[in-house]
């Protein structure tokens, strides 16, 4: 076999098709590109189209990043056309078919790797893509897992499983309504059973996928985490010990987008909408605007979103509200309320609505933003923290309630809006309205307070922002961790070559 150490390193990257998973993977490719390390990202045509701006910017900067489109066999598994991303799935009943189509990507990905140079040095795979373990074995390269969560949340969920295990299976020995303490953390906190991720219960039609994911985890060489050591409060070492695997924290990866052009080219924004939103923000006073965005997978019922809109309006503060779009019944119902109530006319000059994708990094970095009302997805949590602004937390599902505890109870840079239970995919109507207008208003007033507590919260937010930026600079923990990861890959390649030469 020809020596791969004499060539440039080549990282193969395979993200799960969900915006919160794909965006940081592209940022990691950029970080590697800054060091002259080549990467190839595999995804489907629809998802590739969302990153045209990102790839255009990478080519302009001459980063060696290649984006390869592989077919997504949606019709073959019974998925509707266009369902190539989790944010396009209309029903949880389609999740099994979605994962079946994702698994069918293995063959075209491997064919491309086999037929094109340079050969892979390693694979960075989303945790959910269990089949990449077999791909890594075929090409005899190390495989690292990435799934866009913090060590804090992963350790917390691991500890819940360990300390509250039940012989009955998924249903843990936990109080049904009262908060319980998550044990074994550097700083303890409480959470409710109703706020735990859906993975703590049975997953209809997905048990086979779950089993394969857990089995494939055992063969990985470690985890790549979008976080930094100073933020994790000692959780990195504890989680490494718990899973007996190496962890490299190399974030916040969004900070590779250093200027306005980088931030605006990241994502899927329409240029006209971006210009309008930036001009509107330019007209606002510093630290006065509430930025409200509940994520690309937000599926709250229209009545709940109405309560959010009413709370924003009642605050009498300027705000930007990002709404998910689409031709579904829920979106149409919300649009009807906006028209019937003449909402946009009432808030004219004080409120700005963005339908669809928003230039979040650029908005958060704007001098006018005073607080971020967010869903506690890890990407948004990091991006808000790196902007040095306090947050209003409105978690919905997955590990988001654990992230809320980190933001509010541990870091003390946020305020809860007051959500008591998770909103599971497909059960949104059953859950209904969890947060009323008055709760939104209270949280806004608290986070924007000019009192001593509010000032201390803002001071801590700025401090963590500065720590995050130092982590990715020369001499910082994340930059050093990335260097160690690169060195590890080179050592593994050398070890494999020595075996081949025997």
Tens of pLDDT, residue by residue over 429-467, are 889 999 999 999 999 999 999 999 999 999 999 999 999
- Please report the pLDDT score of residue 167 as a whole number: 53
- Please report the pLDDT score of residue 172 as a whole number: 66
- Please report the pLDDT score of residue 250 as a whole number: 98
Mean pLDDT of all residues in 178-192? 92
Architecture per CATH, 267-468: 3-Layer(aba) Sandwich (3.40)
Instruction: Say whether pLDDT at 278 is over 80.
Output: yes
Give 8's DSSP letter.
P
Q: Calculate what percentage of the chain has a pLDDT beyond 90.
A: 77
- Please report the pLDDT score of residue 26 as a whole number: 96
H helix or E strand, kind and range, residue 21: helix 19-34
Instruction: Say whether pLDDT at 184 is over 50.
Output: yes
How far is 263 from 308, CA to CA, in rounded Å? 27
Mean pLDDT of all residues in 64-76? 96
Domain spans in the chain, listed from the N-terminal domain onward: 10-152+196-251+473-501, 267-468
How far is 172 from 208, CA to CA, in rounded Å? 21
Residue 199 binned pLDDT confidence (cut-offs 50, 70, 90)? confident
43 and 50 Cβ atoms separated by less than 8 Å: no
Residue 201 binned pLDDT confidence (cut-offs 50, 70, 90)? confident
Neighbours of 201 (CB within 10 A): 13
Where is mean pLDDT largest: 88-92, 179-183, 259-263, 407-411?
407-411
Token pair 């669809």 is at which residue? 356
478 and 250 Cβ atoms separated by less than 8 Å: yes
Q: Calculate what percentage of the chain has a pLDDT beyond 70.
A: 95
Structure tokens at 250: 């190399």
Instruction: Say whether pLDDT at 95 is over 50.
Output: yes
Cα 368–373–379 angle (5° rounding)? Answer: 95
Mean pLDDT of all residues in 148-174? 81
Instruction: Say whether pLDDT at 171 is over 80.
Output: no
- Please report the pLDDT score of residue 120 as a whole number: 97
How far is 277 from 449, CA to CA, in rounded Å? 25
55 vs 264, more confident: 55
Q: What is the pLDDT of residues 203-222, one digit of tens each?
A: 888 999 999 999 999 999 99
Residue 4 binned pLDDT confidence (cut-offs 50, 70, 90)? very low
Equal fold, 10-152+196-251+473-501 vs 267-468? yes
Closest CA to 356 of 310, 330, 325, 316: 325
Pairing of strands 143-146, 180-182: unpaired
How far is 303 from 107, CA to CA, in rounded Å? 44
Mean pLDDT of all residues in the chain? 92
How far is 60 from 362, CA to CA, in rounded Å? 20
Sheet holding 391-393, edge to edge: 351-355, 319-323, 289-293, 369-374, 391-393, 414-416
175 vs 2, more confident: 175
Instruction: Say whether pLDDT at 317 is over 70.
Output: yes
Out of 3.40.30.10, 3.30.465.10, 3.40.50.2000, 3.40.50.10860, which CATH number does the structure's domain 10-152+196-251+473-501 have? 3.40.50.2000
């Amino acid at each position: 076999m020809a020596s791969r150490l004499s060539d440039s390193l080549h990282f193969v990257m395979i993200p799960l098709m969900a915006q919160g998973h794909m965006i940081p993977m592209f940022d990691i490719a950029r970080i590697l590109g800054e060091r002259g390390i080549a990467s190839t990202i595999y995804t489907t045509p629809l998802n590739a189209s969302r990153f045209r701006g990102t790839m255009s910017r990478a080519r302009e900067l001459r980063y060696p990043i290649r984006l390869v489109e592989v077919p997504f066999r949606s019709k073959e598994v019974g998925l509707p056309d266009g369902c190539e991303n989790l944010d396009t799935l209309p029903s949880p009943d389609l999740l099994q078919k979605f994962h079946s189509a994702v698994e069918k990507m293995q063959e075209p990905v491997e064919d491309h790797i086999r037929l094109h140079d340079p050969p892979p040095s390693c694979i960075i795979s989303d945790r959910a893509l269990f089949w990449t373990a077999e791909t890594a074995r075929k090409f005899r390269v190390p495989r690292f897992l990435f799934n866009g969560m913090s060590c804090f949340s992963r350790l917390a969920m691991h500890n819940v499983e360990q300390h509250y295990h039940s012989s009955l299976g998924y249903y843990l020995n936990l109080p049904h309504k009262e908060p319980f303490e998550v044990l074994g953390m550097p700083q303890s906190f409480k959470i409710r059973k109703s706020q735990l991720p859906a993975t703590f219960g049975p997953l209809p039609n997905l048990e086979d996928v779950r089993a394969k994911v857990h089995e494939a985890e055992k063969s990985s060489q470690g985890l790549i985490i979008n976080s930094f050591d100073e933020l994790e409060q000692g959780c990195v070492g504890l989680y490494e010990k718990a899973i007996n695997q190496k962890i490299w924290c190399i974030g916040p990866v969004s900070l590779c987008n250093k200027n306005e052009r980088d931030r605006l080219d990241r994502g899927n924004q329409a240029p006209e909408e971006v210009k309008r939103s930036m001009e509107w923000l330019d007209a606002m006073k510093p630290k006065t605007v509430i930025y409200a965005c509940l994520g690309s997978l937000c599926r709250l019922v229209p009545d709940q979103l109405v309560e959010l809109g009413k709370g924003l309006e009642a605050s009498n503060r300027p705000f930007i509200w990002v709404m998910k779009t689409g031709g579904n019944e829920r979106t149409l119902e919300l649009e009807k309320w906006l028209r019937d109530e003449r909402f946009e006319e009432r808030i004219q000059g004080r409120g700005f609505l963005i339908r669809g994708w928003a230039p979040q990094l650029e908005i958060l970095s704007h001098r006018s933003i005073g607080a971020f009302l967010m869903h506690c997805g890890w990407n948004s949590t990091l991006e808000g923290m790196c902007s040095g602004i306090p947050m209003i937390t409105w978690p919905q599902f997955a590990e988001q309630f654990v992230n809320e505890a980190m933001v509010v109870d541990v870091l003390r840079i946020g305020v809860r809006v007051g959500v008591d239970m998770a909103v599971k995919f497909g059960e949104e109507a059953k859950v209904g309205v969890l947060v009323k207008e008055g709760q939104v208003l209270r949280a806004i007033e608290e986070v924007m307070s000019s009192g001593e507590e509010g000032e201390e919260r803002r001071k801590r937010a700025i401090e963590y922002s500065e720590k995050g930026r130092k982590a990715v600079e020369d001499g910082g923990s994340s930059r050093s961790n990335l260097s160690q990861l690169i060195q590890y890959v080179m050592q593994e390649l050398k070890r494999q070559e020595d075996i081949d030469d025997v």
